[in-house]
């Protein structure tokens, strides 16, 4: 089987935001609204011992094992694929936004009617990927995966900070990193079972 | 689909690494070329191009879709076939397709509405005929030397030769390129004085991946700015556990990746570096074999009549060393990459240090090493600690860790015109790098594959008097040729040299606007415009200016250009651009330039700083949306307007670039007759395809096929290039002596030419130049006074209005005041009652220039320093998305320059903050 | 190798704002009204007038509340997907799916129950639009058959409406319960709280009708008052359990508390006017009685006011605790619009 997941190496992310731009262009998100990216890179001040340091923190949908967004959906517009990806079908979604409320990771946003009409002018009427208003979120670039490509953010990540892989493949780099126990998901205490893992540094022997 | 992971484990890496081992070191991480199939969706196709948004020149693969008879660029990405950046590009690169589809793009020629003033964005659409006609009428009475050509993005990227040929064709001695002294000449000149290199877009890339210690001093652009080709290699290094040490008054992106970040006091980086150099020389942390063989450290020097160090030369200007075997003084060839053979061919092993009180010919001689050692005496770690705020123990530690590392790298830096002493800083950095022999070796500075080829060609053509200069000169020799041509009254028939040279000669050397070597800068332009210059008794005015893809209203001190454009002597301002940058508002006539994604290039280029030599060009991804011009065709038309015929341009292209004029002209006419747009550019392209293909031993068709399918044509691998042509181990560096120059002949020549024997700026050796942000004042800083620093943000390109692209605007708005605000330390902000988002006036205490800024309260900056990301603050309302976002940095940039290259001392002042 | 370091952001949301708060309020109120009215009619000899008032008001509130929600949807036309009854078979975990069915069937069966009553109402037949048109319709054999059966199957019909009505009220709480990120929502006291509140507001509404419109002060009126007092007491216990026991146990909860205890609208508006004052007033009314109906009506209005505020504050004050944040940044945060309270 396949279980897609992502590993984020915080040691190398340089905060260039290429991933944000790549995702936006690939998935034609409403870039005129800064609230409506599918992924973000946060620019943090963190305290490490007695030092204050700067850290860049990429965040996206975690494609949870136990996704609260899927259970609340009344139309079946969102579901979890066998390969682990949580997707949205815009044709079915009525846009009640319960899924966005349920998501603990702020991973979903509303693409409304105005975004669609603005998208026609911005992305070109015949080239628009999203033609109906709905909730939108990261889908690990599902269509690119079908073509044997990586998600847009992973492909462009200049620092090899976003690493994509298959947790069902024991030889996959991210599987081996996760197996060390040194990678963690976010808000795991909520029981969502996130599949985006964060690591402070990838052990050199695994690379 | 299985992803490929680097097969090289750490163990195998260690086993394989040895200097000179060929075919093992990759010079790039494996994971930059992971992109999957070579074909897109059946409905889509790929086009290959080169990114336009910084001088990293990332190779692009463009996904183009066809629907209902229309094609559209859907996505930009890196080209996995290029070993420069693989399938990676940055946020600006990703957003680049918005340049094609921006509603704010300049679509047609524009002519200023009658009655409006320069600075007002008031234009009417015009046809090309009207625009050319307007220019023809307005330029009728303007003499060739009264023109200034200001080449920006397009020129800077690939059109330097075409632009120089153009100035030659129209007999214009005045060329400015932007943003030269800030970007690639000031700081870089310091580095290049050691290596002799010069390329507008970086001559070296650092082999981070094979380094074990990386030191970054006052610079973020290489890594965090972001430079994709460097960032990928840096990340590869981080994965391998490299130690990273960063000196920066604020937590830059690079500092965020550091193992140790030292918040050094602004302006004191040179103090640190001098102490580090001293420590390394004292402790013997250098590669003696390399230095005695390939640098001029063992050359003998003595004090001259001006009490300045000078090389001890033979009558034929040959340098001397002390041979270790014989203890005798031996002369070496004046130009060579090696010190191991004397002028008679005998084997020599130079001594790095002279015996005490060594006498020869009645003079006391010491080696350059000895002289530099002496000069560094006062610059102890304790002295540096006092100035920098970094503990002496830490300075010693850094020097030791760097000095004893196997392959340390000090990042050479980019875009460094901050203080008067930045050039000396970069020189000393280059010395530190070269002390360890870290030039053109794994884990060191690696020179670009294409650039190395140009140098090799230069040496091959050295004795060919007919070699076209723009096709046979590289590095500093090219700069000297160009600077000399500009300064030489005999270059043009009219006998006028560049106003830059006249200004230099007619301005007192101690004047604040004097520079010795202002290579394609605007130093002196204000004098020319104001009518302060004379040549042979007649006034030498600048009356007209042609700018392409450059934005001095936003990237140079604002007041300077405000005056230049609006001065009553300025009769004609022609601006060529893609977007309505702030400078466009000052034009009389605006010519729309074709975007990089919509055009075929006039030539095939090297792959930027890629250590592999790969050929690359641009292929038009989609048909042009509008009737826009490519720079080279604009130049041809300008030549016709200004001289009466296009002929001079064909001729100068032949003379300077070596492209046969007759065939070029015939092809141009042929394409024009067929209705092909920009026919001159297409003719140049065809001829370059033919020439390059011939050089490779293949047909032009085959070259085209490969470039269309893969986007790059691999010529040679870094491993073999370095093994065979490594500089200086295998091939001479383009310095005057061919060696790595610790004793700088560049500065030696300048100081002699201008008699500046006492100025530390023109010292042939490393010496101290203090940065003085508060000249003449010893008083403590006021409660609301700070040092001022600025830096590059990874979502805006320097002076380019790509911060009008909505993805980038969105990201900047998301980051809020972190990106668009002024960083103030929380302790100081607290005392001043300032909170996040509060508006303040920032006033330059030296000039009283002021700008409004939003406060970002943070602990990531020194308490005595404020920081601002540059690139924001567009003032042209036609840039509807980026308009007035953030602060325009250049509103407080003073017009103070350093005396060598005219670099702006753009943060050598303090500011005071006042709530709005 | 060190652990991952996290920053923290506390954020509320305004995706579900006033429209949804109104829907939750009107939905709970309307559904409880239908359940209460039918139950009272079947088992408490409630008069036809109060039954019709309660049921028809309930239908109107449910309908109007749902319409408000429809307006708030991104793509309203797709709502038909959840109107079909088999939807819950495919998506049994979705409270909205269940709730929609509950609302539909509560409305349908509530109407069916009062259909025979309506037919006897002269004003019904004389309705401007409905009258002439419906009149013809009424006499159709099929319709008369339905009306016939509605008359005969009154008890089962009533129970369907009552149970789905209760279900609707419970669903409004379960809906919030299913959002795990905010402590204010994701606790087991929320469904009972919302259910109790719904019925409390329904009782309050009926008391207003009884006192102000119908001027009936009989036995059932008394029972309603007592029941409302009981429900308000339960509500007070539930609310304070949430505030004092549940919320302090997590960072999200503590953040919610921080907002609530700094909000006059919550303290005075909800706790004071919406809960405590009605409790006091109704206690007085039951123990000592009121001379006039004005205090009772006023108290009931306060209960209704409190019912809306409860849902508004719950939506507005649920706090997400994110393990990230832009330094010192107080504005735009991410997908959805978040009001950041503090960043660390």
Tens digits of residue pLDDT in B558-578: 889 999 999 999 999 999 999
Q: Which helix (H) or strand (E) holds B341?
A: none
Alpha-carbon gap: C106 to the closest alpha carbon of chain A (Å): 18
The DSSP letter of residue C37 is H
SS3 C60: helix
Nearest to C164 by CA among C46, C23, C33, C20: C33
Is B221 near chain A, with CB under 8 Å?
no
> How confident is residue B22, by pLDDT bands cut at 50, 70 and 90?
very low
Inter-axis angle of helices B700-710 and B679-696, nearest 10: 100
Q: What is the 3-state secondary structure (H, E, C) of B172-218?
A: CCCEEECCHHHHHHHHHHHHHHHHCCCCCCCCEEECHHHCCEEEEEC
Interface contact flag, B857 C331, Cβ < 8 Å: no
Q: Which of residues 255-274 of B touch A (CB under 8 A)?
A: 255-257, 261
Best CA proximity match to B456, nearest among B203, B696, B731, B715: B731
**In Å, what is the CA distance from A175 to each residue of A169, A179, A202, C36?**
7, 6, 12, 57
Q: Does residue B406 carry a pLDDT above 70?
A: yes
Pairwise CB contact (< 8 Å): A56 & B238: no
pLDDT at A109: 95
Judge whether A56 and A10 are in contact, CB under 8 Å.
yes
Position B414 scores a pLDDT of 80
* Whether the predicted pLDDT of B27 surpasses 90: no
Chains with ≥3 Cβ pairs under 8 A against C? A, B
SS (H, E, C) B479-503: HHHHHHHHHCHHHCCCCCCCHHHHH
The answer to whether A93 and C75 have CB atoms below 8 angstroms apart is yes
Tell how strand C320-322 and strand B534-535 pair up.
Answer: unpaired
Of B89, B241, B806, the CB nearest to A32: B806
Give the nearest chain C residue to B835 (CA atoms): C328
pLDDT digits (tens, 9 = 90+) for B69-123: 899 999 999 999 999 999 999 999 999 999 999 999 999 999 999 999 999 999 9
Q: What are B471-497's pLDDT values in tens digits? A: 999 999 999 999 999 999 999 999 999
Alpha-carbon distance A207 to nearest alpha carbon in chain C (angstroms): 15
Q: Are B207 and B551 in contact (CB under 8 A)?
A: no
Residues 20-79 of C with CB under 8 A from A: 69, 72-76, 78-79
Instruction: State whether B815 and C330 contact (CB < 8 Å).
Output: no
- Count Cα atoms within 13 angstroms, Cβ side, for B267: 21
The Cα–Cα gap between B795 and B91 comes to: 6
Q: Which chains pack against B, by 3+ Cβ pairs within 8 A?
A: A, C
Task: Inspect the interface and report whether the beta carbons of C324 and A200 lie closer than 8 Å.
Answer: no
Distance CA A147, CA B44 (A): 12
**DSSP per-residue codes, C240-265:** HHIIIIIGGGSHHHHHHHHHHHT-HI
Q: Among partner residues B814, B837, B858, which is closest to C327 by beta-carbon distance?
A: B858
* CA-to-CA separations, B130 to B134, B149, B344, B572, B595, in angstroms, rounded: 6, 21, 68, 15, 22
**Residue B7 — very low, low, confident or very high, per pLDDT cuts 50/70/90?**
very low
B800-856 pLDDT, tens digit per residue, is 677 799 999 999 999 999 999 999 999 999 999 999 999 999 999 999 999 999 999
Q: What integer pLDDT is reported at residue C341 of this predicted model?
A: 55
Asked if the Cβ–Cβ distance from A109 to C332 is below 8 Å, we say no
- Nearest by CB to residue A102, choosing from C178, C333, C337, is C178
Structural tokens at position C43: 């088992």
B5 vs A162, higher pLDDT: A162
Å from C90 to nearest chain A CA?
8
Which residue does chain B place closest to C334, by CA atoms?
Answer: B814
Instruction: Indicate yes or no: CB of B837 within 8 angstroms of CB of C326.
Output: no
- Torsion angle of alpha carbons A141, A147, A152, A156, nearest 10°? 160
List the end-to-end C-alpha distance of chain A, in Å, as a whole number. 24
CA distance B562 to B559: 5
CB C305 within 8 A of CB C297: no
Q: What per-residue confidence (pLDDT) applies to C135?
A: 60
Question: What residues of chain A lie within 8 A of the CB of B77, using their CB?
Answer: 22, 152, 155-156
Cα A173 to Cα B7, B215, B241, B543, distances in angstroms: 12, 30, 17, 64
Q: CA B729: distance to chain centroid? A: 25
Contact call for residues C172 and C32 (beta carbons, < 8 A) = no
- Please name the residue of chain C whose CA is at the shortest distance from the CA of residue B812: C332
Note the ipTM here.
0.98
Q: How far is CA B581 from CA B875, B879, C332, in A?
A: 8, 7, 27
Record: contact C337-A35, CB cut-off 8 A: yes
Q: pLDDT by residue (tens digit) across B116-174?
A: 999 999 999 999 999 999 999 999 999 999 999 999 877 777 899 999 999 999 999 99
d(CA A167, CA A145): 16
pLDDT at residue B859 is higher than 50? yes
**The pLDDT value given to residue A133:** 97
- Cα–Cα dist A113/C15, whole Å: 16
- Whether C181 sits inside 8 A of A111 (CB atoms) is no
Provide the 3-class DSSP secondary structure of residue B509: coil
Q: Do B815 and C326 touch (CB under 8 A)?
A: yes
Euclidean distance between CA atoms B153 and B557, whole angstroms: 19
Nearest CA in chain A to C20: A96
Q: Report the pLDDT value the prediction gives residue B31, as an integer from 0 to 100.
A: 78
Q: What is the model's pLDDT at position C121?
A: 83
Contacts of A70 in chain C (CB under 8 A): 93
Residue B11 has what pLDDT? 31
Q: What is the structure's pLDDT at B3?
A: 23
Does B253 contact A56 at a Cβ distance shorter than 8 Å? yes
For residue B20, the surrounding DSSP H or E stretch is none
Which chain C residues have a beta carbon less than 8 Å from that of A75?
78, 81-82, 87, 91
User: Is the entire prediction scored with pTM above 0.90?
Assistant: yes
**Residue B13 pLDDT grade (very low, low, confident, very high; cuts 50, 70, 90):** very low
A204, B239: Cβ pair inside 8 Å? yes
pLDDT at C332: 32
Distance from CA of A183 to the nearest CA of C (A): 8
Contact at 8 Å (CB) between A119 and A25?
Answer: no
Please report residues of C whose CB lies closer than 8 A to that of B837: 330
Residue A143, number of CB atoms within 10 A of its CB: 12
Chain A positions touching B808 (Cβ under 8 A) are 21
Round the CA-based radius of gyration of chain B to a whole number and report it: 27
Residue among C178, C320, C325 minimizing CB distance to A42 = C325
Confidence of residue B36 (pLDDT cuts 50, 70, 90): low
Cis peptide upstream of residue B424 (ω within 30 degrees of 0): no
Pairing of strands B300-303, B785-791: unpaired
Rounded Cα gap, residues B599 and B678, in angstroms? 10
**Which tens digit of pLDDT belongs to each residue from B272-298?**
999 999 999 999 999 999 999 999 999
Across all residues in chain B, what is the average pLDDT? 92
| Nearest by CB: B235 against A43, A126, A160 | A160
Residue A17: closest CA among chain B residues belongs to which residue?
B91
* Chain B residues inside the 8 Å CB shell of A33: 810
Please list, in sequence order, all residues whose beta carbon lies within 8 angstroms of the beta carbon of residue C268, skipping any fewer than 6 positions away: none
Look at B856 and C326 and tell me if their CB atoms are within 8 Å: no
Burial of B42 (0-12, 13-18, 19+ CB in 10 A): exposed
Q: Do C328 and B814 touch (CB under 8 A)?
A: no
Q: Residue C1's closest chain B neighbor by CA?
A: B241
pLDDT average, residue stretch B208-218: 95
pLDDT tens-digit readout, B329-359 = 999 999 999 999 999 999 999 999 999 999 9
B20-34, B244-258, B868-882: range with lowest mean pLDDT: B20-34
Digit-by-digit pLDDT tens for chain C (344 residues) are 468 999 888 899 989 999 999 999 999 999 999 999 999 999 988 899 999 999 999 999 999 999 999 999 999 999 988 999 998 998 999 999 999 999 999 999 999 999 888 877 888 777 776 656 666 666 678 777 877 888 888 899 999 999 999 999 999 999 999 999 999 999 999 999 999 999 999 999 999 999 999 998 888 899 999 999 999 999 999 999 999 999 999 999 999 999 999 999 999 999 999 999 999 999 999 999 888 889 999 999 999 999 999 999 999 999 999 999 888 654 333 333 345 554 33
Minimal Cβ distance to C327: which of B813, B818, B837: B818
Mark yes or no for CB contact A17/B811 under 8 Å: yes
For residue C72, the distance in angstroms to the closest alpha carbon of chain A comes to: 7
Report percent pLDDT > 70 for chain B: 95
Judge: A25–B807 Cβ closer than 8 Å, yes or no.
yes
Torsional sign, CA B224, B230, B232, B233 = negative
User: B-C interface: how many C-beta pairs under 8 angstroms?
Assistant: 25
Residue in B813, B856, B860 closest to C332 by CB:
B813
Average pLDDT in chain A:
96
CB contacts under 8 A, C 175-204 vs A, are 175, 178-181
Which residues are registered as beta bridge partners of A162?
A8
| Out of A47, A107, A203, closest to residue C335 by CB | A107
**Which chain C residues are closer than 8 Å to A61 by Cβ?**
none
Q: How far is the C-alpha of B373 from the C-alpha of B356, rounded, in Å?
A: 13
CA-wise closest residue to C172 among C26, C318, C19: C26
Region B403-428: mean pLDDT is 92
* Each residue's pLDDT tens digit, B180-191: 667 778 888 999
Dist CA C177 CA B557 (whole Å): 59
Euclidean distance between the first and the last CA atom of chain B, given in angstroms as a whole number: 58
Measured CA to CA, the distance from residue C200 to residue C303 in angstroms comes to 7
| Contacts for C192 with CB less than 8 Å, ≥ 6 apart | C173, C234, C238
Q: What is the pLDDT of residues B369-396, one digit of tens each?
A: 999 999 999 999 999 999 999 999 999 9
Distance CA C31, CA C197 (A): 12
């Amino acid at each position: 089987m396949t279980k897609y997941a992502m590993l984020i190496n915080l040691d190398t992310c340089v905060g260039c935001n290429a991933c944000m731009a790549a995702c936006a262009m690939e998935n034609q998100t409403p870039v005129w609204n800064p609230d409506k990216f599918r992924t973000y890179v946060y620019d943090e001040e963190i305290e490490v011992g007695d030092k204050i340091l700067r850290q860049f923190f990429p965040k996206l949908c975690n494609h949870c094992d136990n996704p609260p967004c899927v259970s609340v959906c009344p139309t079946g517009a969102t579901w979890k694929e066998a390969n682990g990806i949580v997707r949205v079908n815009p044709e079915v979604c009525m846009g009640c936004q319960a899924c966005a409320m349920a998501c603990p990771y702020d991973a979903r946003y509303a693409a409304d009617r105005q975004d669609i009409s603005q998208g026609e002018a911005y992305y070109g009427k015949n080239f628009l990927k999203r033609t109906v208003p709905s909730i939108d979120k990261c889908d690990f670039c599902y269509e690119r995966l079908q073509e044997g490509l990586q998600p847009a953010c992973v492909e462009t990540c200049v620092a090899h900070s976003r690493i994509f892989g298959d947790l069902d493949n024991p030889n996959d780099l991210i599987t081996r990193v996760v197996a060390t126990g040194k990678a963690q998901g976010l808000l795991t205490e909520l029981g969502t079972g996130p599949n985006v893992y964060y690591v402070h540094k990838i052990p050199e022997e695994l690379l | 689909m299985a992803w490929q992971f680097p097969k090289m484990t750490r163990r195998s890496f260690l086993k394989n690494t040895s200097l000179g081992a060929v075919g093992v070191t990759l010079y790039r991480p494996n994971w930059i070329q992971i992109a999957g199939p070579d074909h897109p969706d059946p409905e889509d196709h790929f086009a290959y191009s080169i990114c336009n948004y910084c001088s990293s020149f990332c190779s692009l693969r463009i996904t183009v879709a066809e629907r209902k008879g229309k094609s559209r660029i859907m996505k930009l990405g890196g080209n996995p076939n290029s070993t420069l950046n693989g399938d990676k590009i940055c946020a600006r690169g990703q957003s680049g397709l918005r340049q094609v589809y921006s509603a704010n793009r300049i679509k047609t020629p524009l002519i200023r509405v009658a009655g409006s003033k320069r600075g007002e964005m008031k234009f009417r659409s015009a046809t090309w005929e009207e625009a050319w006609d307007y220019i023809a009428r307005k330029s009728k009475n303007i003499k060739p030397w009264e023109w200034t050509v200001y080449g920006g993005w397009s020129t800077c990227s690939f059109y330097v030769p075409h632009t120089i040929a153009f100035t030659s064709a129209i007999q214009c001695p005045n060329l400015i390129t932007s943003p030269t002294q800030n970007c690639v000449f000031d700081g870089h000149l310091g580095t290049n004085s050691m290596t002799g290199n010069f390329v507008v877009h970086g001559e070296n890339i650092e082999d981070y991946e094979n380094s074990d210690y990386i030191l970054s001093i006052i610079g973020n652009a290489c890594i965090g700015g972001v430079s994709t080709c460097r960032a990928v290699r840096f990340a590869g290094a981080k994965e391998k556990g490299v130690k990273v040490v960063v000196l920066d008054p604020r937590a830059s992106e690079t500092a965020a990746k550091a193992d140790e970040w030292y918040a050094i006091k602004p302006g004191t980086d040179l103090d640190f570096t001098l102490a580090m150099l001293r420590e390394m020389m004292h402790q013997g942390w250098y590669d003696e074999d390399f230095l005695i063989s390939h640098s001029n450290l063992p050359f003998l020097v003595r004090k001259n009549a001006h009490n300045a160090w000078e090389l001890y030369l033979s009558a034929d200007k040959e340098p001397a060393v002390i041979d270790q075997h014989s203890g005798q003084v031996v002369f070496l060839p004046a130009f060579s990459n090696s010190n191991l053979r004397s002028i008679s061919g005998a084997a020599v092993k130079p001594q790095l240090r002279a015996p005490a009180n060594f006498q020869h010919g009645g003079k006391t001689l010491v080696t350059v090493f000895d002289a530099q050692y002496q000069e560094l005496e006062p610059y102890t770690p304790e002295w540096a600690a006092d100035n920098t705020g970094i503990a002496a123990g830490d300075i010693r530690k850094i020097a030791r860790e760097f000095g004893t590392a196997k392959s340390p790298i000090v990042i050479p830096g980019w875009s460094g015109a901050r203080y008067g002493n930045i050039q000396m800083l970069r020189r000393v950095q280059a010395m530190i790098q070269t002390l360890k022999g870290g030039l053109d070796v794994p884990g060191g500075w690696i020179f670009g594959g294409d650039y190395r080829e140009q140098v090799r060609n230069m040496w091959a053509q050295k004795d060919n008097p007919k070699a076209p200069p723009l096709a046979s000169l590289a590095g500093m020799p090219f700069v000297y040729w160009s600077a000399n041509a500009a300064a030489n009254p005999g270059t043009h028939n009219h006998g006028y040299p560049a106003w830059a040279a006249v200004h230099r000669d007619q301005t007192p050397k101690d004047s604040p606007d004097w520079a010795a070597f202002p290579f394609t800068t605007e130093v002196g332009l204000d004098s020319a415009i104001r009518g302060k210059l004379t040549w042979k008794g007649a006034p030498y005015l600048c009356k007209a200016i042609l700018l392409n893809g450059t934005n001095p209203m936003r990237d140079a001190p604002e007041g300077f250009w405000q005056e230049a454009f609006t001065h009553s002597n300025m009769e004609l301002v022609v601006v060529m651009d893609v977007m309505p940058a702030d400078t466009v508002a000052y034009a009389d006539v605006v010519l729309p330039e074709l975007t990089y994604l919509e055009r075929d290039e006039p030539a095939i280029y090297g792959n930027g700083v890629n250590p592999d030599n790969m050929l690359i060009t641009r292929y038009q991804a989609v048909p042009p949306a509008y009737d826009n011009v490519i720079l080279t065709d604009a130049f041809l038309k300008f030549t016709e307007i200004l001289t009466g015929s296009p002929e001079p341009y064909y001729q100068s292209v032949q003379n300077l670039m070596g492209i046969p004029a007759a065939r070029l002209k015939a092809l141009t006419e042929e394409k024009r007759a067929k209705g092909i747009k920009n026919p001159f550019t297409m003719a140049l392209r065809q001829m370059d395809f033919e020439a390059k293909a011939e050089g490779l031993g293949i047909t032009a068709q085959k070259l085209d096929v490969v470039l269309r399918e893969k986007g790059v044509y691999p010529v040679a691998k870094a491993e073999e290039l370095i093994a065979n042509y490594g500089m200086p181990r295998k091939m001479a560096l383009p310095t005057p002596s061919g060696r790595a120059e610790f004793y700088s002949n560049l500065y030696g020549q300048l100081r002699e030419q201008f008699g500046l024997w006492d100025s530390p700026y023109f010292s042939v050796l490393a010496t101290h130049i203090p940065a003085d942000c508060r000249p003449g004042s010893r008083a403590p800083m006021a409660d609301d006074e700070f040092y001022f620093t600025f830096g590059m943000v990874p979502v805006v390109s320097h002076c380019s209005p790509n911060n009008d692209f909505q993805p980038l605007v969105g990201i900047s708005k998301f980051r809020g005041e972190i990106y668009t605000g002024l960083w103030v330390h929380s302790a100081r902000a607290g005392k001043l009652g300032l909170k996040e988002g509060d508006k303040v006036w920032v006033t330059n205490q030296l000039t009283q220039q002021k700008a409004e800024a939003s406060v970002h309260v943070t602990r990531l900056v020194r308490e005595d320093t404020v920081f601002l990301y540059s690139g924001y603050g567009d003032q042209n309302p036609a840039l509807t998305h980026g308009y007035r976002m953030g602060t325009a940095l250049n509103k407080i940039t003073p017009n103070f320059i350093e005396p060598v290259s005219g670099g702006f001392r753009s943060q050598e002042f303090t500011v005071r903050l006042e709530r709005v | 190798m060190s652990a991952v370091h996290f920053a923290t952001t506390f954020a509320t949301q305004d995706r579900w704002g006033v429209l949804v708060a109104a829907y939750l309020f009107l939905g709970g109120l309307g559904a409880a009204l239908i359940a209460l009215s039918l139950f009272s009619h079947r088992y408490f000899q409630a008069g036809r007038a109060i039954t019709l008032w309660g049921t028809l008001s309930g239908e109107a509130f449910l309908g109007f509340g749902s319409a408000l929600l429809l307006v708030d949807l991104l793509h309203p036309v797709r709502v038909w997907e959840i109107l079909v009854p088999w939807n819950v078979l495919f998506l049994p975990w979705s409270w909205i799916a269940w709730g929609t069915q509950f609302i539909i069937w509560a409305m349908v069966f509530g109407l069916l129950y009062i259909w025979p009553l309506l037919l006897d109402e002269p004003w019904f037949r004389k309705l401007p639009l409905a009258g002439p048109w419906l009149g013809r319709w009424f006499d159709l054999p099929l319709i008369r058959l339905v009306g016939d059966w509605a008359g005969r199957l009154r008890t089962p019909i009533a129970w369907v409406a009552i149970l789905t009505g209760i279900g609707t009220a419970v669903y409004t709480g379960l809906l919030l319960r299913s959002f795990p990120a905010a402590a204010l929502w994701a606790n087991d006291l929320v469904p009972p709280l919302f259910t109790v509140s719904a019925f409390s507001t329904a009782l309050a509404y009926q008391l207003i009708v009884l006192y102000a419109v119908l001027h009936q002060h009989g036995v059932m009126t008394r029972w309603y008052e007592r029941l409302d007092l009981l429900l308000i007491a339960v509500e007070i216990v539930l609310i304070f359990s949430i505030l004092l026991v549940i919320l302090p146990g997590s960072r999200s909860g503590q953040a919610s508390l921080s907002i609530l205890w700094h909000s006059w609208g919550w303290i005075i508006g909800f706790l004071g006017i919406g809960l405590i004052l009605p409790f006091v007033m109704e206690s007085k009314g039951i123990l000592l009685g009121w001379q006039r109906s004005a205090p009772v009506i006023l108290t009931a209005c306060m209960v209704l006011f409190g019912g809306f505020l409860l849902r508004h504050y719950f939506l507005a004050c649920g706090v997400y605790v994110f393990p990230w944040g832009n330094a010192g940044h107080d504005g735009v945060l991410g997908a959805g619009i978040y009001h950041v309270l503090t960043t660390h």
